[in-house]
Amino acid sequence: MVDVTVEHDDARTGADGAGGYLITADGVDKVFSTRAGDVHAVRDVSLSVRHGETLGLVGESGSGKSTMARLMMGLMPPTSGTITFDGVDLSAVHGREMRRLRARMQMVFQNPYGSLLPHYSVSANVAEPLRLHKRGDKESRRKRAIELLTMVGVNPRFADHYPRQFSGGQQQRVAIARALALEPKLLMCDEPTSSLDVSIQAQVLALLDELRTSLGLTLVFISHNLAVVERFADRVAVMCLGQVVEIAPTEVLFDSPRHPYTQQLLAAVLPVTKDPLPAPATPWQPRAEVLPLREVAPGHFVREA
């Protein structure tokens, strides 16, 4: 295999020709200013997600995954770099145009209850984005909400119940139904199953899997549960200290991780059945400076360590 150094702005992870990407981050940085000084949350991140693809985003806690998600959703501006959604530079759109774009990207959070309106029935919760975007009238919105609830497996008999009357798994289904109300292209999932039981988690994953096929959704899937990411993502990006340190097709990443942080991460997984328990991994000391990303095999990018 020939090592090819690429300029970072070309390192869009296995380019498959122009026009294949729904969302692209190019050389993105984000700095937060706090009382305690500046926090450089995201450094020089370039990522692209193809239409219909599921990109897994894993890595160190505090490495900037949720910040990346908020940046890609246009919920805050990057300090530098650009985010392009469906060919449109997010920094160039405002007002109505921005609202129109936002409707096409929706987010699913870790804590379903916190993301639902407690004083609205679940059907009103699902219809709320339609109301905000002035779609249809009250009756048609309710009808659509009920269709959506049915689609995610919530019995429409419970359409007038309040979120707290549902279990966590059911609440997450409601949150997914609401996220789908405006027929988005992109679903940004930030730890969508980590507050759920293993049994319910399996059910929610099956639902997301079915929806991405039937609706042709593009997914960004942030999770600390590597077993879930291994099953669910087409490609995986690994973040550490605000940087993407490795991107590869899922099987490649799990079978032959190249970056020391990725290796360390995979070595820290605690097995349920396999023996013996892994030995403590030798800690890799991350470095703050931004080193170049290289393509070590087609579609497999690794940052120098």
Partner 1 sequence: MSPSLEVEGLRTEFGLRDRVLRVVDDVSFTVEPGQALAIVGESGSGKSVAMRSVMRLLPKTGRIAGGQARLGGTDLLALSERQMRKVRGRDIGMVFQNAMEALNPTLTLERQLTEHLKWHGICDHAEAKRRAVETLGDVGIPEPEKRIRTYPFQLSGGMRQRAMIAMAMVTQPSVLIADEPTTAVDVTVQRQLLDLLAELKARGTGIIMITHDLGVARYFCDDAMVMYAGRVVEHGPIRRLLSRPAHPYTTGLFESTLEVGARQRALLPIPGSPPDLAYRPTGCAFHPRCGRAEERCGREEQPLLPWPGHGEVDLLHAGAGPERNAERREVACWKAVEHG
38/255 with CB nearer ligand ATP: 38
271/292 with CB nearer partner 1: 271
Q: Is 168 in the site for partner 1 (CB under 8 A)?
A: yes
Nearest CA to 152 out of 124, 183, 170, 173 is that of: 173
148/241 with CB nearer ligand ATP: 241
Cα–Cα distance, 98 to 126 (Å, whole number):
21
Identify whether the C-beta of residue 234 lies closer than 8 Å to the C-beta of residue 51: no
Q: Which does 167 bind (CB under 5 to 8 A by kind): partner 1, Mg ion, ligand ATP, none?
A: partner 1
Contacts (Cβ under 8 Å, ≥6 apart) of 127: 141, 142, 144, 145, 181
Interface with partner 1 by CB under 8 A: which range of 48-56, 84-92, 140-148, 166-174? 166-174
Site residues (vs Mg ion, CB under 5 A): 66
Q: Sort strands 54-59 and 37-50 into parallel, antiparallel or unpaired.
A: unpaired
Name residues contacting ligand ATP, limited to 236-265 (CB under 6 A). Answer: none
Interface with partner 1 by CB under 8 A: which range of 9-17, 94-102, 212-220, 269-277? 269-277
Q: Is 145 in the site for ligand ATP (CB under 6 A)?
A: no
Cα–Cα distance, 219 to 230 (Å, whole number):
14
Smallest distance from the beta carbon of 152 to ligand ATP, in angstroms? Answer: 25
Member of 214, 273, 282, 285 binding partner 1 (CB under 8 A): 273
Instruction: Tell me which long-range contacts 95-103 makes (C-beta under 8 A, separation of at least 24).
Output: 98/74, 99/133, 101/74, 102/73, 102/74, 103/129, 103/133, 103/182, 103/184
Phi, psi of 59 (to 5 degrees): 140, -175
Smallest distance from the beta carbon of 70 to ligand ATP, in angstroms? Answer: 8
Smallest distance from the beta carbon of 266 to partner 1, in angstroms? Answer: 7
From first CA to last CA, the distance across the chain in angstroms is: 19
Which DSSP symbol is given to 156? Answer: G
Helix (H) or strand (E) holding 8: none
Member of 27, 52, 62, 286 binding ligand ATP (CB under 6 A): 62
Contacts (Cβ under 8 Å, ≥6 apart) of 49: 21, 22, 23, 24, 55, 186, 218, 220
103/189 with CB nearer partner 1: 189
Cα–Cα distance, 116 to 127 (Å, whole number):
12
Q: Is 287 in the site for partner 1 (CB under 8 A)?
A: no
Question: How many binding residues for partner 1 (CB under 8 A)?
Answer: 51
What residue ranges bind ligand ATP (CB under 6 A)?
Answer: 32, 34, 39, 41, 61-67
> Applying CB under 8 A, which residues contact partner 1?
32, 34-37, 39, 58-63, 66, 110, 167-169, 191, 194-203, 206, 224-228, 230-231, 251, 254, 264-266, 268-274, 277, 280-281
